[in-house]
C-alpha cells in the first residue's frame, strides 16, 4: 500500500492519522466526562472529599490534559500532511447540499481539532490548578498570565468548542454510514486498511462556501456562549455582599490572599470582598495598646484557581453554612506592632499573633502582614490528611492603604 494520497485514494499515512485521531478523541470525551463528573462530586457542598477521590480526579484530569496536547500536536502534523498531499475528491460532488455539508464538517473537524485542545491548554496555563500536564513542557504558555478572567473565558471557550467538535464528528459519522449503507459507494472503504480507489464525480463543491459556513458556526457557538454569560469574566456573585463599616481609618486599597500547597505547588487565591474596622492611635496607652482591628471576610468571594468550587464545599470552608470569617485583634507594641487576637473560620476560633509592618505619612497608612495557620485547626479539609496532596499549613498575606476618616 502506498504511503501518500492519490487523486482517487488515501495513503497509509493519512489513514493512520485519521484512525489514531479518532481513537484519541473518543477517549478524550470519555475521560473528560468521567473527570468532570468526579470533579462535580468533589465540589458538591454535601459530599465529603477524601484523599482517594482527589487522587482519582487529579489522575483523570492529568491524562485528559496530556492527551489533549498530544491531539493538538497530532492535528498540526495531520494538517501539514494534508496540505502536502492531493485530496481524493468526493464521490457525490454533484449533490450540491450534501457535498457542501460534508466539506463544512471537514473544516469544522480540522479547525476544532486545533481550537479545542488549544483553548484547554490556555485555560490550564492561566489557572493555578492541581492536575499537571505530564509532558516535559506545557504547564505555562508564553503571553498567558495566571489570571482568573483569562481562565474563565478560555474554560468557557473549551466547553463551547468541544460541542462544535462533537457535532462535526456526529455529522462525519452519519455521512460515512450513509455512503456505506445507503449509497453503497467506496467513501468509507477508502479510509479502511488496504488499497481502495473510486472514481470521483466531475463536479466538486470547492472550499470557499464550506469554510465560510464553518466560520459562521464557530462564531454562532461563541456568540451563544457570550449571550448565556459563559464568556463574561466577573467577580464571583455574592447575594449578601458585606456591608460597609464605619471605621476610624478608611481602607482605600488592599488585597487579601491565601496560599495553599497542593501536590507540592503553591496555589494562590484572593478574597474580593472584605471589610476592615480599624482603630489606631500612633501613641500607645500605658499598656502598649495602639488600638484594635476587626476584619470580616466574605468566604464566597474567594477565587482559588481551578479548585475554587471545591474550596466552598462542606469539607473545606462550608461557605453556605459559614459565609464569613472574622479576625479580631488588639494592636499592641511589642518589639514592633503586633496584632494579637483570634481568627474565626467556620465554627472554630483560634488565637493568633501577627507582626504588622506599618508606615504612616500625611494621614495615609500603609500596612501589611503575613500569617501561617494550620487548616486542620479550623476543621478545613479534614478528609484530606495526605500533605502530599494538600499541605496542612496555609499562608495568609494581606496589604492595605488606609486614610484617617474626617473628624478623627
Helix 51-84 vs helix 12-43: angle between axes, to the nearest 10 degrees?
150
Q: How long, in residues, is the chain?
A: 408
Q: What is the pLDDT of residue 276?
A: 95
Is the confidence at residue 211, as pLDDT, over 50? yes
What is the mean predicted confidence (pLDDT) over 59-75? 94
Is the confidence at residue 117, as pLDDT, over 90? yes
CA distances in angstroms from 94 to 60, 90, 105, 393, listed in the order given:
46, 9, 17, 69
Ranking 17-26, 63-72, 228-237 by mean pLDDT, the lowest is 228-237
Is the confidence at residue 185, as pLDDT, over 50? yes
* Dihedral angle sign, alpha carbons of residues 6, 10, 12, 17: positive
d(C-alpha 70, C-alpha 154), whole Å: 19
CA dihedral angle for residue 377, residue 378, residue 380, residue 382, rounded to 10 degrees: 50
Is the confidence at residue 83, as pLDDT, over 90? yes
Ranking 171-180, 188-197, 230-239 by mean pLDDT, the lowest is 230-239
Q: Which residue has the higher pLDDT, 102 or 233?
A: 102
Q: Which domains does the chain have, with CATH numbers?
A: 12-227 (1.20.950), 249-404 (2.40.128.110)
In the block, residue with C-alpha cell 476610624: 248
- If you average pLDDT over each of 53-67, 109-123, 138-152, 231-245, which comes out highest? 109-123
The 8-class DSSP code of residue 376 comes to G
What is the helix (H) or strand (E) element at residue 302, kind and residue range? Answer: strand 302-303
What is the mean predicted confidence (pLDDT) over 351-374? 95
Q: Which residue has the higher pLDDT, 350 or 320?
A: 350
Is the confidence at residue 55, as pLDDT, over 90? no
Phi and psi angles of residue 55, each rounded to the nearest 5 degrees, phi first: -65, -40
**Confidence class for position 357, pLDDT limits 50, 70, 90:** very high
Q: What is the pTM of this model?
A: 0.76
- If you average pLDDT over each of 3-17, 147-161, 297-311, which comes out highest? 3-17
d(C-alpha 396, C-alpha 368), whole Å: 11
The 8-class DSSP code of residue 321 comes to T
Q: What is the pLDDT of residue 339?
A: 96
What is the mean predicted confidence (pLDDT) over 33-41? 84
Is the confidence at residue 234, as pLDDT, over 70? no
The answer to whether the beta carbons of residues 213 and 106 sit under 8 Å apart is: no
What is the mean predicted confidence (pLDDT) over 289-307? 91
The pLDDT > 70 percentage for the chain reads 95
Is the confidence at residue 148, as pLDDT, over 90? no
**Confidence class for position 235, pLDDT limits 50, 70, 90:** very low
Q: What is the pLDDT of residue 25?
A: 95
Q: What is the pLDDT of residue 239?
A: 44
Nearest alpha carbon to residue 92 among 211, 22, 180: 180
Amino acid at each position: 500500500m502506498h504511503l501518500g494520497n492519490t487523486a482517487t485514494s488515501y495513503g497509509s499515512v493519512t489513514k493512520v492519522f485519521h484512525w489514531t485521531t479518532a481513537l484519541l478523541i473518543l477517549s478524550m470525551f470519555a475521560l473528560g466526562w468521567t473527570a468532570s463528573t468526579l470533579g462535580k462530586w468533589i465540589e458538591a457542598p454535601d459530599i465529603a472529599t477524601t484523599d482517594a477521590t482527589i487522587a482519582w480526579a487529579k489522575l483523570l484530569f492529568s491524562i485528559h490534559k496530556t492527551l489533549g496536547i498530544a491531539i493538538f500536536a497530532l492535528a498540526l502534523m495531520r494538517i501539514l500532511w494534508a496540505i502536502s498531499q492531493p485530496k481524493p475528491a468526493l464521490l457525490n460532488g454533484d449533490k450540491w447540499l450534501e457535498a457542501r455539508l460534508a466539506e463544512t464538517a471537514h473544516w469544522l473537524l480540522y479547525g476544532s481539532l486545533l481550537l479545542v485542545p488549544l483553548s484547554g491548554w490556555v485555560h490550564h496555563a492561566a489557572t493555578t490548578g492541581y492536575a499537571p500536564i505530564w509532558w516535559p513542557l506545557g504547564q505555562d504558555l508564553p503571553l498567558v498570565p495566571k489570571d482568573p478572567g483569562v481562565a474563565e473565558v478560555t474554560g468557557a471557550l473549551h466547553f463551547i468548542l468541544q460541542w462544535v467538535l462533537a457535532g462535526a464528528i456526529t455529522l462525519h459519522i452519519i455521512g460515512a454510514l450513509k455512503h456505506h449503507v445507503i449509497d453503497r459507494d467506496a467513501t468509507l472503504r477508502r479510509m479502511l486498511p488496504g488499497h481502495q480507489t473510486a472514481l470521483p464525480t466531475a463536479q466538486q463543491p470547492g472550499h470557499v462556501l464550506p469554510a465560510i459556513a464553518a466560520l459562521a458556526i464557530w462564531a454562532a457557538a461563541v456568540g451563544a456562549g457570550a449571550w448565556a454569560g459563559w464568556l463574561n469574566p466577573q467577580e464571583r456573585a455574592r447575594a449578601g455582599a458585606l456591608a460597609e463599616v464605619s471605621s476610624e481609618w478608611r481602607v482605600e486599597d488592599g488585597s487579601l490572599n491565601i496560599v495553599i500547597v497542593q501536590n507540592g505547588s503553591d496555589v494562590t487565591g484572593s478574597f474580593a470582598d472584605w471589610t476592615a474596622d480599624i482603630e489606631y492611635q500612633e501613641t500607645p496607652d500605658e499598656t502598649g495598646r495602639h488600638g484594635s482591628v476587626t476584619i470580616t471576610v466574605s468566604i464566597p468571594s474567594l477565587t482559588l484557581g481551578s479548585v475554587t468550587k471545591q474550596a466552598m464545599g462542606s469539607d473545606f470552608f462550608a461557605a453556605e453554612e459559614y459565609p464569613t470569617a472574622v479576625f479580631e485583634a488588639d494592636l499592641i507594641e511589642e518589639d514592633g506592632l503586633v496584632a494579637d487576637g483570634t481568627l474565626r473560620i467556620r465554627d472554630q476560633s483560634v488565637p493568633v499573633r501577627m507582626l504588622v509592618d506599618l508606615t504612616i505619612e500625611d494621614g495615609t497608612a500603609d500596612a501589611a502582614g503575613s500569617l501561617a495557620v494550620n487548616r486542620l485547626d479550623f476543621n478545613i479539609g479534614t478528609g484530606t490528611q495526605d500533605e502530599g496532596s494538600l499541605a496542612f499549613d496555609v499562608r495568609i498575606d494581606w496589604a492595605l492603604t488606609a486614610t484617617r476618616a474626617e473628624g478623627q
